A and B are shown apart, each in its own frame.
Chain A
Amino acid sequence: MLQKLQKIISYEEVGIPAREAGFPSPFKPGLEYNSPAHGTWNIVHTGMLIPGAHQIYVCAPNCARGVALTAAEMNEMDRLSTISLEEADFYNGQMEEKIIEGTTQIINDLPVRPSAILLFTVCVHHFMGTDLDYVYDTLRERFSPLPIVNCFMDPIMQKGGLSPDQKLRIAMYTCLKAGEKKEKAINIIGNDLKIIEDCEILSHVKTEGYAIKDITLCENYEEYLSMAKSKVNIVSYPQARPGGKLLSERLFMRYVYFPQIFDYEKIEKQEQELWKLLSISPLDTASLKRKCEDELKEVLQVIGDTPLALDASAVPYILSLAHFLLEHGFRVKRVYGDSFLPEEKEDFQWIGDHYPDLEFYPTMDIHMRTIPRMTKEPFLAIGQKAAYFTQTPYFVNIVEGGGLLGYQGIIHLAKLMADAWNNKKDTKDLVIRKGLGCVSCI
């Protein structure tokens, strides 16, 4: 049973109606709460996508615990090691040696030489001015040809620059070598979850003779390395844009940003651009669009005027989804998100103009710790945080877009919504698990 603190904060004190909300961050910054919904991936999960790679974190034990137990919960503890920092390391001028010798010991102790080492340094290394070039150069020389990839777990930098997650999506493709002979192949870059198999984009390019390469599908390191031979990189996840662009520049590949979006016109435009870029015949999508509409009508019949709560951990462009569902007659009542992506401004304005009473809620604001998490009427939630904050057993359990792309992505989402309404879920059991889609042994 949920135990509340004495001071109960009402929803009215926290939520902001769309008509009054600011963009891109409707809420005042302050101390931060962390909800127990943990299905989104962290850098450990993402790093494990490189087949055979071993991760090493040089950090305080408090930070090391989070990463080590992430790996342990994935049953991948044998692919992660740590070098625990002590206070003296901050002052004794030995940090570089500590990282070099610690990493050396770990590599030498491992029973099998990994395909690559992802060596993560942390916030304090920036502030100490640790000579990371010297560290990596020395290790690369010592263990050549083993790739030693410089990775960061430095969240202190994320408010003014790239997040550790974005940096990793750059670093994890640096093992791909330039100069490989190009093949008729396309890479999907930077996603954590594989794209649905019946996605019309992938099936069409396959029909046109292109191979699809995706780190989520690589079974061995050679397969991963073969991504260097592709001609085009498609990035579907916003956090992977810097990585995708840099890789494309370095390996002379074409770059396409094809995000999950809930807007027929934009999908159509994206698809046309891709066909043009690949010089392949266009795909007739009229039937797919009709199928989307049929599925949405069907799910609307099933759930009726049930209120919907959406959260930004479910899909990257949450306002695009809210806009789309509202246009299709769904009763979207709440959107949970601390800030929105700049490209969502149009959707934000549209919502404010047409549905001024839709409520925005934060997820990290301190009020969210004590806000009532029961609702008068049951919600259908899309996303784990929305499910947690509304304490509903009816929810679509997806993170990071769930691999839903294109028209088929919309069809799948509609089916997932109907299923969520028809089949209750054990919210607590599901949302506390880290890295949805990874093995979770808890």
Chain B
Amino acid sequence: MKQVNTFISTYTADVSAVCSALYEMGGMIVIHDPSGCNSTYNTHDEPRWYEKDSLIFISGLSEIDAIMGNDEKFIKDVVTAAKVCHPEFIVLLQSPVPLLMGTDFPAIVKQIESEVNIPAYFIPTTGMNSYIWGAGEAFSLLAKEFVKEPDKGKKVKKCVNLLGITPLDFSVNTTADSLKKEVLGQGYAIQSNWAMGSSLREIKEAASAQVNLVAAACGLKAAKVLEERFGIPYVAGLPIGSFAPLFWQETKRAIEEGRSCCPYHKVLQNPEEDFVFIGEPVIGQSIASDLSLRLKKTPLIVTMQQIPDELISKGCRVILSEEELKEVLAKAHTVIADPLFLPVCPEDVKFYSFPQEACSGRIYRKDIPDLFLHR
């Protein structure tokens, strides 16, 4: 049965991912949930919780309020909190019970907005979608609702936005800084980082950039919105190691031709079935491209999340169940993956630990490498 995880853990889901993506934006995020969503999020999915404030709360939904459809309490509590906290915006998130009850979030959002005069939004999370979907929706919301037309239509030359940066894929080590250095080293300026280290004000000015770099799959939806709204092309991937020259060549071309691209498609053709990498698909395929160009060995990239076809190269496979994963791993001699996948690997496999927060949370945080330094 594909929904059974006998041995492996569960990836971050959509609710936590929205919170992660919007953490530094100054908004107030309210999860309509009885208990637990915030605890799971701040314990396992949010390394910034202890030291950096962000307005993320749950509603504490009770049985009686759910049954009686007492949305008034929820609305009143959100309004009260908004008046105390003065957030830049409000985002409401749904958990399984409100989904089942058919809670009318669009109407609730309108009522809250009218009472506090703060923009309010609903992201239709269910607690059952992938983190890539959740963070993607959050970034997409920023792109649709907050990014302004550039001043007099002016673009800043050689200027990029970094899209899809969250601790779930990049942790809180030096990877994001290394990426910045790499970008700056190529003579590009960075308009905004979505969303670690940039303010909402900087993100509002994102349309002045010439190109968007989709550093992880969750950045794709926002890239598409920005492409549609402002004609900004995007490039998916990370300029890692031997893959970097091709990546930058394709980025230059994307700017010149105004055409989006995914450079790793050019590299990843025939993966080796006995060499498996499990992880975030854009990061994984960028690393695989480096390995392929450098070592002439192309691992099979396995992603445990549903992602858009355009991000899936011939070297990547989407696997959504433990059962199917075991079948793929049965052929592997070498595996690079989060240590929580070890129990489903063959006993004699050569296993290289590559932890990811979206998989094992904080357990192996100290071992998460800087993607640009550790090869």
Which A residues have a C-beta under 8 Å from some C-beta of B? 1-7, 9, 29-34, 36, 38, 60-66, 68-69, 72-73, 77-78, 81-87, 90, 98, 101-102, 105-106, 109-110, 122-124, 126-128, 153, 155-161, 366-367, 369-370, 428, 432, 434, 441-442
Instruction: For residue A367, give the distance in angstroms from its CB to the closest CB of chain B.
Output: 7
The answer for the CA separation of A30 and B3 in the assembled complex, in Å, is 35
Q: Which of B11, B36, B40, B85 has the most CB of A within 10 A?
A: B36
Chain B residues near A68: list those with CB within 8 A.
5, 9-10
Chain B residues near A32: list those with CB within 8 A.
35, 38, 57-60
The answer to whether A82 and B40 have CB atoms under 8 Å apart is no
The answer to whether A90 and B64 have CB atoms under 8 Å apart is no
Q: Which of A66, A126, A432 has the most CB of B within 10 A?
A: A66
- Asked if B343 is at the interface of the complex by the 8 Å CB criterion, the answer is yes
The answer for the CA separation of A160 and B26 in the assembled complex, in Å, is 34
Instruction: For residue B272, give the distance in angstroms from its CB to the closest CB of chain A.
Output: 28
The answer to whether A158 and B80 have CB atoms under 8 Å apart is no
Q: Mask for B81-98, Cβ within 8 A of A = 1, else 0?
A: 100111000000001110
Interfacial residues of chain B within 33-91, with CB under 8 A of chain A in the complex: 34-40, 42-45, 49-55, 57-64, 66, 77-78, 80-81, 84-86
The answer to whether A87 and B128 have CB atoms under 8 Å apart is yes
Q: Which of A2, A6, A60, A122 has the most CB of B within 10 A?
A: A60
The answer to whether B35 and A155 have CB atoms under 8 Å apart is yes
> Which are the 5 A-B pairs with shortest beta-carbon distances?
A66-B40, A62-B127, A155-B35, A62-B13, A60-B127
Chain B residues near A428: list those with CB within 8 A.
50
Q: Which of A82, A84, A85, A109 has the most CB of B within 10 A?
A: A84
Chain B residues near A98: list those with CB within 8 A.
1, 3
Could you say which of B7, B11, B30, B66 contacts A65, with CB atoms under 8 Å apart? Answer: B11
The answer to whether B60 and A29 have CB atoms under 8 Å apart is yes
- Asked if B360 is at the interface of the complex by the 8 Å CB criterion, the answer is yes
Q: Mask for B1-38, Cβ within 8 A of A = 1, else 0?
A: 10111110111111110000000001000100011111
The answer to whether B128 and A155 have CB atoms under 8 Å apart is no
The answer for the CA separation of A222 and B49 in the assembled complex, in Å, is 43
The answer to whether B42 and A34 have CB atoms under 8 Å apart is yes
Given contacts A63-B127, A72-B340, A161-B63, 13 further A-B contacts (CB under 8 A): A34-B42, A65-B361, A66-B36, A77-B7, A78-B7, A81-B5, A90-B99, A155-B35, A158-B35, A160-B63, A370-B53, A432-B43, A434-B43
From A30, which residue of chain B is reached at the shortest CB distance? B77
The answer to whether B100 and A128 have CB atoms under 8 Å apart is yes
The answer for the CA separation of A160 and B34 in the assembled complex, in Å, is 12
Instruction: For residue A300, give the distance in angstroms from its CB to the closest CB of chain B.
Output: 32
A-B contact pairs, 12 of them (CB 8 A): A31-B80, A61-B10, A61-B13, A77-B343, A83-B1, A85-B3, A86-B3, A127-B101, A128-B100, A156-B66, A369-B85, A432-B50
- Asked if B269 is at the interface of the complex by the 8 Å CB criterion, the answer is no
The answer to whether B100 and A105 have CB atoms under 8 Å apart is no
The answer for the CA separation of A84 and B50 in the assembled complex, in Å, is 29
The answer to whether A369 and B53 have CB atoms under 8 Å apart is yes
- Asked if B116 is at the interface of the complex by the 8 Å CB criterion, the answer is no
- Asked if B363 is at the interface of the complex by the 8 Å CB criterion, the answer is yes
- Asked if B362 is at the interface of the complex by the 8 Å CB criterion, the answer is yes
The answer for the CA separation of A66 and B36 in the assembled complex, in Å, is 8
Given A38-B43, A124-B100, A31–B30 Cβ distance below 8 Å?
yes
- Asked if B126 is at the interface of the complex by the 8 Å CB criterion, the answer is yes
Which B residues have a C-beta under 8 Å from some C-beta of A? 1, 3-7, 9-16, 26, 30, 34-40, 42-45, 49-55, 57-64, 66, 77-78, 80-81, 84-86, 95-97, 99-101, 126-128, 340, 343, 360-363, 365
Instruction: For residue A79, give the distance in angstroms from its CB to the closest CB of chain B.
Output: 11
The answer to whether B127 and A61 have CB atoms under 8 Å apart is yes
Chain B residues near A36: list those with CB within 8 A.
42-43, 49-50
Chain B residues near A66: list those with CB within 8 A.
36, 39-40, 43-44
Could you say which of A3, A84, A128 contacts B3, with CB atoms under 8 Å apart? Answer: A84
Chain B residues near A86: list those with CB within 8 A.
3, 128
Given A31-B58, A63-B40, A123–B13 Cβ distance below 8 Å?
no
Could you say which of A30, A106, A110, A156 contacts B61, with CB atoms under 8 Å apart? Answer: A156
From B66, which residue of chain A is reached at the shortest CB distance? A156
Given A84-B128, A102-B4, A155-B35, A64–B10 Cβ distance below 8 Å?
yes
Instruction: For residue B25, give the distance in angstroms from its CB to the closest CB of chain A.
Output: 11
Instruction: For residue A325, give the distance in angstroms from its CB to the closest CB of chain B.
Output: 28
The answer to whether B64 and A62 have CB atoms under 8 Å apart is no
Chain B residues near A87: list those with CB within 8 A.
99, 126, 128
The answer to whether A366 and B84 have CB atoms under 8 Å apart is yes
The answer to whether A81 and B36 have CB atoms under 8 Å apart is no
Could you say which of A9, A33, A90 contacts B100, with CB atoms under 8 Å apart? Answer: A90
Could you say which of A3, A5, A82, A122 contacts B5, with CB atoms under 8 Å apart? Answer: A82
The answer to whether A69 and B5 have CB atoms under 8 Å apart is no
The answer for the CA separation of A158 and B64 in the assembled complex, in Å, is 11
Chain B residues near A7: list those with CB within 8 A.
84-86
Instruction: For residue A390, give the distance in angstroms from its CB to the closest CB of chain B.
Output: 14
Given A159-B64, A160-B63, A102–B3 Cβ distance below 8 Å?
yes
The answer to whether A155 and B34 have CB atoms under 8 Å apart is yes
Instruction: For residue A282, give the distance in angstroms from its CB to the closest CB of chain B.
Output: 44
The answer to whether B51 and A2 have CB atoms under 8 Å apart is yes
Chain A residues near B99: list those with CB within 8 A.
87, 90
The answer for the CA separation of A421 and B340 in the assembled complex, in Å, is 39
The answer for the CA separation of A33 and B10 in the assembled complex, in Å, is 24
The answer to whether B36 and A102 have CB atoms under 8 Å apart is no
Could you say which of A85, A124, A155 contacts B36, with CB atoms under 8 Å apart? Answer: A155
Could you say which of B45, B52, B365 contacts A3, with CB atoms under 8 Å apart? Answer: B52
The answer to whether B26 and A73 have CB atoms under 8 Å apart is no
The answer to whether B39 and A34 have CB atoms under 8 Å apart is yes
The answer to whether A4 and B53 have CB atoms under 8 Å apart is yes
